[in-house]
Structure 1
Amino acid sequence: MTAGQPPRVLVDATSVPADRGGVGRYVDGLLGALGGMVGTAVDLAVVALRTDQERYARMLPGAEVIAAPAAVAHRPARLAWEQTGLPMLAQQVGARVLHSPFYTCPLRAMCPVTVTVHDATFFTEPEHYDKSKRTFFRSAIKTSLRRANRVIVPSKATRDELIRLLDADPTMIDVAYHGVDHTAFHAPTDEEKARVRARLGLGGTQYVAFLGAKEPRKNVPNLIRGWARAVADRDDPPALVIAGGQGHDDDIDRAVAEVPPHLRLLRPGYLRYADLPGFLGGALVAAYPSYGEGFGLPILEAMACAAPVLTTPRLSLPEVGGDAVAYTSEAPGQIAADLAALLDDEARRRSLAKAGFDRAKEFTWESSADVHVAAWTRAAA
């Protein structure tokens, strides 16, 4: 790489899930922003699942987009290919840097490697993961901190936890906040809100929204219990809508069984991407009482949809929400009290909705892409 020449970077997008969940939002947002920088700030190649090749080719007209072997769609095969096939591919495309966007990276590569470590909750909140997942990701994070030339994290809280818990070298960590797609996530129109209500069968019933994976760390059971306490005695109680992917939190079903029969709780699963602004922005409150996040993309997306947000002050969440969200604890009693206070205060909900919407504008994928390119340039040098 000569002076002034952008580094040739291969981004491994094979870990993006079909549901475009957390890592999918990150990779899609990052690559979308990099599309305008190809040829000037970065010389980009992307390897993706065959189902994503055309999508990324359209998104990145100036980049080389390569389809991974079909077997890589299965996680064990992908992890094996990452160690052997990915370094070979990096060499074939002349990559000066290889970027792995989801915790793991090749142990041996012919070029510098950068890796994104999304959070440290496998260490700070170990009780919220099953043993196999906890063991795998703890090992992956430790290995990436040893092997990668640079590590990218989405928040200062994650950086600080890696330093505190794993003695990571702070000079090798770059903080790149996630962004939000302000076209996809926007203040919804009344028509968009009505369409979601119709799809969910809510009619004229108001609701509290949750959007995310049903993992123990997300604290959905205590949200259900707190909501039930907050609304049980109201004349016109708002429903609770738990949307998003399935998970492995068995306590959710127990919490659902405790809900009084006169209350409405809906679990519609995945919602259409186009329905998310109407769903989030149409809620009385978007509630996300997580035990801790590496970033907190769901609350940022809710803020961008002009939803008043209730979350916890754990790990990175205050970095995202600042003074533009309301805070509670993880306990159902406190969730009930703070949710009830918000439901009774329309003026505060309006104020939070506006403050969150304005704050969300500060988080862009273009800013995140700038930090990634700077990290890749340092790694290449």
Structure 2
Amino acid sequence: MHIGFDAKRYFLNATGLGNYSRTTVRLLHTYFPENDYYLYTPRTSDRSGILQPGEHVHVRTPGLPTGRMLAPLWRTFLLGRETTRDALDIFHGLSHEIPYGLPQTTKKVVTMHDLIFLRHPELYNRLDVAVYTAKYRSSCSRSDTIIAISQQTKRDLIEFFNMDEHKIKVVYQSCDKRFYDRIGDDTRQTIRKKHDLPSRYILYVGSLAERKNVITLIHALGRIPRESRPHLVLVGTGNRGYMTRLHAAIAQEHLDQEVTWLGQVPGKDLPGIYQMADLFVYPSLFEGFGIPILEALFSKTPVITSTGSCFREAGGPHCLYTTPGDVDELSQAIARVLDDSNLAATMRDKGYEHALHFHEHQVAKNMMNVYTSLLP
């Protein structure tokens, strides 16, 4: 089988959509090595996790300088014609879009991660909402199959785009396989020293943006008595406006000496940072899936996240769920886990069991089943 991908974010995006793209391609190449995989991108990079071109991996870039300089136009209007020479059976747009001009003989698949811009338009400017709506609706309409990364995303596609539910297949994600293994004590201590981590801490990993709702976590910690309150470690970055608000909330709660900002950290250090945490808190308002939840569960770290959206799909029955924005409810949940070692142990063990449903071999199989269902 010849399978092509829109690989711009595979090569050039360091966070969520890029991670999804790299993981998807890696899993298919690992578990189904007999196929040929074609990666179409305006330019390449040497980012960690990139497959090198070889017998069954082919990288395609624009043949003319104008294609590289006008990358958005190339991806949308010229890429489709460039796939002709590769005789693709499947073209998969990994992040909301598929190009125009793909051969009629090529089956078209698009992954839709979320429609947050329609579910929470107040978080976006009007022009972005209009552009995303037009582009994503068009890609969904022109595809043969839509992959939704959660049941929540499937419901949103039906509600907002009026898509036929039979055209939508839910294929869950996995996280990077580095989270599957336990980190040795010596490596943990090296990571602790490198990042100056305290002996006990609550962890948040993700972008620092308004919809991630980290300010609620700051205020919730302020409700916990100081003598029983662990440090907070924040992994991620955000824009200046939201970072200013976070700093103001930290000052308001007198937590200046109790918050560690790590920014972006090397991927190889993340499993150790998760595994040493007493608790992972993910207070987001809305997500397409929530990969950090899965990373924490594989790390055997107790998780508190939000009610609604897709969070229970990712977290399962043994996380704690609180109403987004409810400071007191989140504070009480944090205190409950920190004060009850038996509860924390159950959350670790049962959470890990739930995470195994998202192991990469099952994810790869589910994705390949979608592809093969489209072929004669």
Q: 1:282 to 1:133 in 2, by over 3 A?
A: farther
Q: 1:281 to 1:132 in 2, by over 3 A?
A: farther
1:325 correspondence with 2:319: yes
Q: 71, 74, 87: which one pairs with 1:81?
A: 74
- The number of equivalent residue pairs is 370
Cα distance in 1 for residues equivalent to 2:120 and 2:240: 16
Q: TM-score, normalised by structure 2?
A: 0.89
**Aligned mate of 1:289, from 263, 283, 305:** 283
Match for residue 258 of structure 1 among 225, 238, 252:
252
SS at 1:366 equivalent = helix
Determine whether 1:25 maps to 2:19: yes
- Cα shift readout 1:45-98 (whole Å, capped 9, x = no counterpart): 222442149964438752223345798999x94321112231122112221322
Please give the secondary structure, in 2, of the residue aligned with 1:227: helix
Q: Which amino acid aligns with 2:274?
A: L
Match of 1:238 in 2: 230
* Aligned twin of 2:203: 209
Structure 1 distance, partners of 2:8, 2:146, is 19
Secondary structure of 1:95's counterpart equals coil
Provide Cα deviations, 1:105-162, integer angstroms capped at 9, x if missing partner: 2133223321110012222222233444433322222222212121111111211221
* Equivalent pair of 2:203/2:277 in contact (CA under 8 Å): yes
- Once the two structures are TM-superposed, the CA of residue 170 in structure 1 deviates from its matched residue by 0.9
1:369 aligned to which of 343, 364, 370? 364
State whether residues 30 and 366 of structure 1, in contact with CA within 8 Å, keep that contact through their aligned partners in structure 2.
no
In structure 2, C-alpha distance between the alignment counterparts of 1:293 and 1:20, rounded to whole Å:
18
Shift of 1:320: 1.4
Aligned to 1:90: 83
For residues 307-358 of structure 1, what are the alpha-carbon distances to aligned partners after superposition, in whole Å with 9 as ceiling and x for unaligned? 1111012211101111121111212221111111111112211211111122
| Aligned 1:1-381 pairs, distance under 5 A | 6=1, 8-16=2-10, 18=12, 20-38=14-32, 40=34, 42-48=35-41, 49-52=43-46, 56-58=50-52, 61-67=55-61, 77-110=70-103, 111-204=106-199, 206-230=200-224, 233-235=225-227, 237-247=229-239, 250=242, 251-261=245-255, 263-330=257-324, 331-381=326-376
Q: Is the 8 A contact 2:299 2:352 kept in 1?
A: yes
Are the counterparts in 2 of residues 157 and 294 from structure 1 also a CA contact under 8 Å?
A: yes
C-alpha contact (below 8 Å) 1:188/1:305 kept by paired residues: no
TM-score by length of 1: 0.88
Inter-partner Cα distance in structure 1 for 2:54 and 2:308: 36
Query: Does 298-307 or 142-151 show the bigger shift?
Result: 142-151
Letter in 2 for 1:280: Y
Change (3 A) 1:284 1:77: farther
SS in 2 for 1:16: helix
Please state how far the C-alpha of 1:227 moved relative to its aligned partner.
Answer: 1.8
**Whole-angstrom CA distance in 1 between matches of 2:339 and 2:48:** 49
When the two chains are superposed, the root-mean-square deviation of aligned CA atoms in Å is: 2.7
In structure 2, relative to structure 1, the CA distance for the partners of 1:263 and 1:37 (3 Å cut) is: closer
Contact 2:178 2:268 in 1 (8 A): no
The change in CA–CA distance for 1:114 and 1:199 in structure 2 (over 3 A counts) is same
Maintained 8 Å contact 2:179/2:299 = no
Structure 1 unpaired stretches of 5+: 1-5
Higher relative contact order (CA 8 A, sep 6+): 1
Letter in 1 for 2:236: G
Q: Is the 8 Å Cα contact of residues 180 and 360 (structure 1) preserved in structure 2?
A: no
